[in-house]
Amino acid sequence: MAEAKRKISNFMLSPKFQLKLTYYYIGVGISIIVGTVAGVYFKMMQIQDVMNNSIPTDFTAQSRITEFTFHIAQISMVGFVAFAVASFVFALMVSHRIAGPIVAITAYIEELKKGNYDYGRKLRPNDELTLIMDGLHELKAKLKEKEAG
């Protein structure tokens, strides 16, 4: 059986949500990278200035170069940690918007299985999977009608 060609639209289940979070993630990532590169560039210019304005055997110049090199390592590490934290927050936001509704939907289905058709459960307005919960509410109404009729 030939596999159907995938279109890019197949990956965009909820374009508004997916693109918004993607733009936030890219924006924060680029901001962190630009800030890190700017900090490293500034320190490299300081190193170049020290090297151009001092005698090569000058101990003070060498210690300043070592200090600036250490600052470059610190700036790079801070940039890396900031990007890692931003990635963690992004992943947490996405998982919260998906995992939370899954827990609510599962609890709702369990109540429907027990025959408790008066049980009401709503998702937050911006949660993902609201279409599934809306479908379950319609199913509940039909099941309640069948049981009563």
Could you report the per-residue pLDDT of 30-87, keeping only the tens digit for each? 999 999 999 999 998 998 888 888 776 778 888 888 899 999 999 999 999 999 998 8
Q: How confident is the model at residue 115 (pLDDT cuts 50, 70, 90)?
A: confident
Q: How confident is the model at residue 1 (pLDDT cuts 50, 70, 90)?
A: very low
> Does some domain include residue 22?
yes
> Does some domain include residue 20?
yes
Distances (CA, A) of 90 to 13, 80, 127: 18, 15, 15
Structure tokens at 78: 């801070």
Structure tokens at 133: 């919960």
pTM, full prediction: 0.59
> Does some domain include residue 118?
yes
Do 33 and 83 contact (CB within 8 A), yes or no?
yes
Instruction: Provide the pLDDT for residue 77.
Output: 93
Query: Is pLDDT above 60 for 118?
Result: yes
Instruction: Provide the pLDDT for residue 82.
Output: 92
Instruction: Provide the pLDDT for residue 2.
Output: 47
> Does some domain include residue 124?
yes
> Does some domain include residue 4?
no
Q: How many residues does the chain have?
A: 149
Instruction: Provide the pLDDT for residue 7.
Output: 57
> Does some domain include residue 76?
yes
> Does some domain include residue 39?
yes
Long-range contacts of 133-139 (CB under 8 A, 24+ apart): 133/101, 133/104, 133/105, 133/108, 136/105, 136/108, 136/109, 136/112, 139/112
Reading phi first (left if > 0) and then psi (alpha if -120 to 50, else beta), residue 48 is in alpha
Residue 33 three-state SS: helix
Please count the structural domains in the chain.
1
Instruction: Provide the pLDDT for residue 145.
Output: 87
> Does some domain include residue 127?
yes
Domain residue limits at 69? 14-148
Instruction: Provide the pLDDT for residue 146.
Output: 85
d(CA 28, CA 45): 26
Do 69 and 44 contact (CB within 8 A), yes or no?
no
